[in-house]
Amino acid sequence: MIIMFEVFKHKQIWSYLLVIIGIIAFFSFAQFGPRTSVKVRHIPVAIVDEDQSLASEKIVDKLQNQGTKKNAAIHWVHVANVSKLKQGYADGRYFGAVILTKHFSKNLTSQTNWFKAQVMDQNLRTMAAQNNAFTTTDTYITQRNAANKLLAISPQKAEIKLELSQGNNMTAATLLTTALPKMATALNTMTSTKFIAIATKENVKLTPTQLTQLQNPIKSTMIVKNRVSTSSISGMAPLLTTILLWIGSMIGSLLIRIEHKKRDERSTMGGGMHATTITSQWITGLLFSATSAGSLYFFSHICYKVPIPHTSAYLLTATAIAFVFFLIQSAVINWLGIPGAPLMIMTVMLSTAVVTYPATMLSNFYRTWIYSWTPIRYAQNILINQLYLHGKGTMSTSILILGVYATCGLMLMYLSSKKTAKQI
């Protein structure tokens, strides 16, 4: 029994416990932290006014004013016409849209006139019942003709179209599935409340059908754009692809570094590898990157039927992303050696929890210190464009930033050749 507990007398075993606590604390920070601090706020949604009427402009102004509030769920982005929405989705400028269709105001007016006619009709009937002689007066005849004219015109529902782009961000799309219809219901309620208040005040008797018409003056239709198929892992395919490419590149960078270090005389003595060895290192890395991309295509698409629209474009994109990751990770390994591997694991752990959310939903800390710099975010954006947005997005920012990462990684790899044995 004494021997069994002998180990607890050594301080090192207690330091191991502290290491475990530290690791769990870091992973909790990386995974629980972002998810528990997110708030549904300022999700960008386009607003398109096709009607261009006074009534529709008032609605647009009201929505935009609400969107400027600090914790508003939706930030409204004014878009001139519907034809521009497609490119806006592709560029990631917004995740959905509300479209006030043509004749929106006209159809609302037809309902207002129809309701006025109902009030006039019932008032005229009441007065006629109280005084039959009133039916022969000019006032009655004029009002009766006006009421009949309005009653002859069937009221039309005003229409708004609600769009959400699943491919841009599934989290945002799920939230907008509830938020946009809720907004449409609020518009309905705002309009119908006025009608019902007048009906109550004037003691207008309405049939159930007429009451339903008043309660729903605005028709809303939900349209899903850039739909994500059920076989696309609930929209997670770009993120999972990015993570697997990162892991594949990490393993590749470690193995290639080990093999090249064995064959570099200078490196075996504790210095940095020769420049020619580093050239061989990244050329080999390019082969490994192509292999990672091809393997991922085979297992995800051929084996598990994940839809990939354009095979050649996908393979080229995945290879390029894997190679960028390889250069970043090889730069770390060339300078720090195997101890640099935990940094790569930390990067992917920090990234996975934040890149699934729109930036506006993240806390300032996670948005500034993780979301803004992680290469996994920019790689995922490119893959989203490739897999869900049909390659129509403007990916110049993501491509430029990954290009900067790759260039810096390659430069640092060659600079590592200047290391001396003492520096290692």
| Alpha carbons 354 and 350: distance in angstroms, whole number | 7
Contact 156, 109 (CB under 8 A): no
- Note the pLDDT of residue 373: 94
Which residues, 6+ apart, have CB-to-CB distance to 398 below 8 Å?
378, 379, 381, 382
Place of tokens 């003056």: 217
Write b or e for each residue in 2-14: b if 16 or more Cβ atoms lie within 10 A of its Cβ, otherwise e.
eeeeeeeeeeeee
220 beta partners? 160
| Alpha carbons 268 and 208: distance in angstroms, whole number | 89
**Which H or E run contains 162?**
strand 158-165
Rg (CA), the chain: 32
- Which regions of the chain are under pLDDT 50? 423-424
Model confidence pLDDT, tens digit, residues 339-360: 899 999 999 999 999 999 999 9
Domain ranges of the chain: 43-227, 232-418
Residue 261 CA: distances (Å) to CA of 86, 224, 284: 50, 53, 13
- Note the pLDDT of residue 119: 73
Contact 353, 51 (CB under 8 A): no
